[in-house]
Structure 1
């Protein structure tokens, strides 16, 4: 666009300035008419209207309770995330910026619609929302982290009470974030086996559906086992051995010392192996519920109309941070929202012989029989 403008400027060097700027030294009397910007009619008091919402109505629109939302507002306020102007542009309060960001993530409105609703320009809406999203992404390690100490022991205990399996620290899975066809010649790599374009979110959650590890941004055609290998989780598991704990994963994952999938059902499983698989499935489903809560709360994650992959990835990670904040504040969604389930029981592309951890867990479960 800049190159084209410069080329046009060179070709039109003999033209008057008025052809480019609609203003010259001879037009001073009418300059106010020529430079006057188009005035758009927008909603000017929407933030004030939201203050009249009760907690239920507020949560229906913004998907968070007021207490959770106020915590985010306070974070923005204390970190001076937003720009401050002495003249000209309107200063956007942390409250308004938070509301705009939550509205964007919680609904499917475009930047144009959000700018109209909150009484700002479309470029301002985009810039403000991305400042808040970037802030949440930069703070993600404060809210998405591997458990340790007492918290780790509580997670292992709760998983054991549910499944009868000792040593579980979390459940891992991947889900698709649907996007528009990317504007690149390699767009085909984003086309997944379900028949749409997507990026992948791999996450580990604890017994409370809190995310303790996330990895996002790979193309939708990638298999779960390959996605795992590209993530830092794979290095953590192979180097630290998860401090002798392990994760549960579905049959798309390899059987490793720190990752336990179910037995593959080829029609000849023993009764004990079937029992193991049932307990495994009823425990691992917590990650599917976590994805369901994430997408149920933040509807934007069901489909992004934006073509900027980096923007999409940041929004997804920001949503996982907000998800964990909601868990911390016991900000629970109503039961009407059904859990997300991805049809992701894919055939494992590679064979792994390292099944010692699964065999140990299986033997310990039925050692008294």
Structure 2
């Protein structure tokens, strides 16, 4: 009896233990299912969040691209209207000049008739052949220029005044003679070619106001202004095709070798930089020329136009783009340039032009790394590409130092400025090619702000190429150690 009771108790306890174990196992299974369900829900939620993020990003990208297109169209319309405005001004100016010339001819004819009558009917006051002038001309002293023009004038003083040797100056005069020379008239003798060229070069070199140019050369203020524009135009027409042009294939090969010897980076054919030239606030479209960065830095309202240039290893310009407003960042100026159009047409296939961080990375534009926390390889690459950037920066520093008119706001009209700035670039090339040394006292520190483009990376192929070049520089012992 007792044994059977004991057995029943044991079986009961065993059944209760198995029941409790089953409950525990069932609870664990339920918890595991809940965990798996939670993970699946979490994964699903993450997937939906990612899809939402991608959709939002795509919408923002489409809005950005649409805004960019609208801005581009508005800018192009603005410059089209601006060009039409300048064309109208030119037409009005030409019509005014024609009226003035017609009036002057009528006046001269009347004066000639009156002079003939006085010679015919007066008794002895003015006699034929006396050489009396019919028009009054103010006598001005040109002693300073007469002294400079003498062969015995010190070469060092001549170089200081005109930023070049007498031999280089004479060469420029000979090149421009056929375009600049004028013939004598019955009323006055023509201004010699050397004096015409000297007025222009001295004005560009010193940046002095026209009233001081007038005193130096013994000419009227309006005459000096006219001479500067005429000679600058002649430089653009005659000398620019000869001294500022894109290199041929043989020259490009030599430039690649020289740039590679400087930095170790292959296939580089140019160093690019964009600088700003101060101007007086224009009467139209003031906001377009407002330079916010210069204004903030100097605490003085600044307006400017841009000059983008590509130079060879010696600092000689091979391409320039002049005249876009100072409010435009470097990448937009590049997109407006003829160089950009030629590059898209295949001119720069397989070669690089090196620019600063203000330019985007493209199939033909190589720029430094700009992201945070650079690797040693990227630091090394930036150090070497900086040596190529320095070539164009120093070239622009010499350009502005030689031609001081680029450092101050000029009296030249906005529509005439591209011709004047182009002449400065051509004269810079001539001085560089003639190995004209620059006075150390003229050297300046060049300051131009660079803004990271809105779309800094525009070519995945170029990203891979840049990474490969950076890797080769570091692992073949071509990179420096300044970043360590």
Asked if these proteins are the same fold (TM beyond 0.5), I'd say yes
The equivalent of 1:258 in structure 2 is 364
C-alpha distance in structure 2 between counterparts of 1:53 and 1:240, whole Å: 51
Question: CA 1:116–1:271 in structure 2 vs 1: closer, same or farther (change >3 Å)?
Answer: same
**Matched-pair contact (CA < 8 Å) for 2:359–2:456:** no
The equivalent of 1:170 in structure 2 is 270
**Matched-pair contact (CA < 8 Å) for 2:179–2:234:** no
Q: Which moved more, 1:208-217 or 1:302-311?
A: 302-311
SS of equivalent to 2:308: strand
Give 1:357 deviation, angstroms.
2.6
Q: Counterparts of 1:216-295 in structure 2 under 5 Å?
A: 216-266=322-372, 268-295=373-400
**Matched-pair contact (CA < 8 Å) for 1:62–1:102:** yes
SS of equivalent to 2:453: coil
Give 1:90 deviation, angstroms.
2.3
Question: CA 1:356–1:142 in structure 2 vs 1: closer, same or farther (change >3 Å)?
Answer: same
The equivalent of 1:11 in structure 2 is none
The TM-score with structure 1 as length reference comes to 0.85
Aligned residues: 339
Question: CA 1:360–1:260 in structure 2 vs 1: closer, same or farther (change >3 Å)?
Answer: same
C-alpha distance in structure 1 between counterparts of 2:423 and 2:448, whole Å: 25
**Could you list the per-position Cα deviations for residues 322-355 of structure 1 after superposition, in whole angstroms to 9, with x for gaps in the alignment?**
0011111111213344354233221212243414
Give 1:358 deviation, angstroms.
4.6
The equivalent of 1:60 in structure 2 is 160
**Could you list the per-position Cα deviations for residues 51-80 of structure 1 after superposition, in whole angstroms to 9, with x for gaps in the alignment?**
343221111111111111111110122x24
Give 1:41 deviation, angstroms.
5.0
Q: Counterparts of 1:336-355 in structure 2 under 5 Å?
A: 336-338=441-443, 340-355=445-460
C-alpha distance in structure 2 between counterparts of 1:36 and 1:111, whole Å: 28
Q: Counterparts of 1:116-127 in structure 2 under 5 Å?
A: 116-127=215-226
C-alpha distance in structure 2 between counterparts of 1:142 and 1:202, whole Å: 20
**Matched-pair contact (CA < 8 Å) for 1:291–1:340:** no
Q: 1:190 aligns with which of 286, 289, 293?
A: 289
The equivalent of 2:232 in structure 1 is 133
Q: Which has the higher contact order (CA 8 A, sep 6+)?
A: 1
Give 1:271 deviation, angstroms.
0.3
- Whichever of the two has the greater Rg, that structure is 2
Give 1:243 deviation, angstroms.
3.8
The TM-score with structure 2 as length reference comes to 0.66
Give 1:91 deviation, angstroms.
0.9
The equivalent of 2:423 in structure 1 is 318
C-alpha distance in structure 2 between counterparts of 1:58 and 1:276, whole Å: 44
The equivalent of 1:44 in structure 2 is 142
**Matched-pair contact (CA < 8 Å) for 2:135–2:187:** no
Give 1:274 deviation, angstroms.
0.5
**Could you list the per-position Cα deviations for residues 129-175 of structure 1 after superposition, in whole angstroms to 9, with x for gaps in the alignment?**
21111011113122111111322111111100010011000011110
C-alpha distance in structure 2 between counterparts of 1:295 and 1:357, whole Å: 33
Q: Counterparts of 1:89-128 in structure 2 under 5 Å?
A: 89-128=188-227
C-alpha distance in structure 2 between counterparts of 1:322 and 1:108, whole Å: 15
C-alpha distance in structure 1 between counterparts of 2:338 and 2:433, whole Å: 25
- Structure 1 unpaired stretches of 5+: 3-24
Q: 1:74 aligns with which of 170, 174, 179?
A: 174
SS of equivalent to 2:305: strand
The equivalent of 1:22 in structure 2 is none
Q: Which moved more, 1:47-56 or 1:68-77?
A: 47-56
Give 1:120 deviation, angstroms.
1.6
C-alpha distance in structure 2 between counterparts of 1:203 and 1:190, whole Å: 19
Q: Which moved more, 1:98-107 or 1:37-46?
A: 37-46
SS of equivalent to 1:136: helix
SS of equivalent to 1:280: helix
**Matched-pair contact (CA < 8 Å) for 1:181–1:307:** no
